[in-house]
Structure formats: structure tokens, C-alpha cells
């Protein structure tokens, strides 16, 4: 089973990397981009076959390692 985790900065947390991307897009002629927020996607291949157990395991992974829950939000998809 595959789990996909989307990690994004919480609203209000400064995103200097997103600001740099927005600036670079403007320099390339993409003037309509007003704001960029950057995040990450983590894909995990799991041996677990029970969807509920897999989701619980991935949530625990996020809380302990994959996301900094002080400044980041995350969502989990089980595919």
C-alpha cells in the first residue's frame, strides 16, 4: 500500500523559499504570481494491508519525524 504525505507551512509562518520562487518566476516573465507557498510530498510504500492501521502508522511517523508540527500542517492519503 502507498501512503502520500503532504506537508505545508502553517498560515502565518514565513516562507522565504516560496518568496524566492515567486521572485524568480517574476524575473522569468510570469508576472501574475502574487504569492508562492512551498511544501513537500513524501511517498511511502508500506507493507501494512489494513488501511486504518496504515493511516495510524503514517500519522505517528508525521508527528515524530516527517513534519514539524509546530510550524507545519500535514495530510495523509492512503492509496
The total number of structural domains that make up the chain: 1
CATH number at residue 32: 3.30.1280.10
Kindly list the strands in the beta sheet with 39-45, ordered across the sheet, starting from the edge strand earlier in the chain.
Answer: 39-45, 2-9, 72-78
In a 13 Å sphere around the CA of 44, the CA atoms on its Cβ side amount to 18
Note the pTM of the prediction, 2 decimals: 0.86
Taking alpha carbons only, the member of 48, 49, 40 closest to residue 72 is: 40
From the DSSP assignment, how many helices (H) and strands (E) are in the chain?
2, 3
Q: Tens digit of pLDDT for each residue in 26-47?
A: 999 999 999 999 999 999 999 9
Whole-number Å distance between alpha carbons of 4 and 6: 7
Q: Tens digit of pLDDT for each residue in 43-73?
A: 999 999 999 999 999 999 999 999 999 999 9
Q: Residue 44 sits in which domain range?
A: 2-78
Amino acid at each position: 500500500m502507498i501512503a502520500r504525505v503532504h506537508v505545508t507551512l502553517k498560515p502565518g509562518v514565513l516562507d522565504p523559499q516560496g518568496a524566492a520562487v515567486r521572485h524568480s518566476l517574476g524575473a522569468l516573465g510570469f508576472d501574475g504570481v502574487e504569492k508562492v507557498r512551498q511544501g513537500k510530498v513524501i511517498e511511502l510504500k508500506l507493507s501494512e494491508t489494513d488501511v486504518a492501521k496504515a493511516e495510524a502508522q503514517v500519522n505517528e511517523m508525521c508527528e515524530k519525524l516527517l513534519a514539524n508540527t509546530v510550524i507545519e500542517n500535514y495530510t495523509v492519503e492512503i492509496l
